[in-house]
Amino acid sequence: MIETRQVADQFSDKLKQNDGVDDENDVDAESKAVFAYSLFYVYYDQYTYIKGVLFEDTLLAIAAVVLAIEVITNLGISLFVGLCVFLVSFNLLGLLWLTNVLISGFKIQISAVTVVNIVMSLGFSVEFCVHICIAFNRYVGT
């Protein structure tokens, strides 16, 4: 798929050069572009950017957790819970990497399903860490 896109981009560039029209001022230049299409590209297209989506979703989840818990309690507890959530995601991704490296024939690809599972596990870790931290905060009385 990636090689097909590269060939289509090269052909599109050659087509624009042979056209002789200034594409920056041409309103219809985007419609003259060549693109590669296959019915299966829709499915495989997610693998080109899904790691970035996982990274972005994880950072947004941690930031939302820290902000929400800071509003409820204080900054110290929110940073501690944010650290715990980060460590859970780090451990999950490390375990995923170890499984892919150590066990041959058992490759887990990062797809939309694994991203959803990792984000859900972050939610579960928030649930447990927040209850423990808030109970500790009430007991200690700080």
CA dist 77 and 24 (Å) reads: 53
Same domain, 50 and 23: no
* Tens digits of residue pLDDT in 62-79: 999 899 988 988 888 899
Same domain, 35 and 60: no
Same domain, 34 and 52: no
Same domain, 33 and 51: no
Residue 121's domain comprises: 46-140
Same domain, 56 and 125: yes
Backbone angles phi and psi of 28, in degrees to 5: -95, 20
Same domain, 65 and 87: yes
* Tens digits of residue pLDDT in 41-65: 777 777 788 888 889 988 998 999 8
Same domain, 104 and 72: yes
The structure's pTM equals 0.67
Average predicted confidence (pLDDT) for the chain: 82
Residue (of 16, 41, 20) closest to 31 by Cα position: 16
Same domain, 60 and 27: no
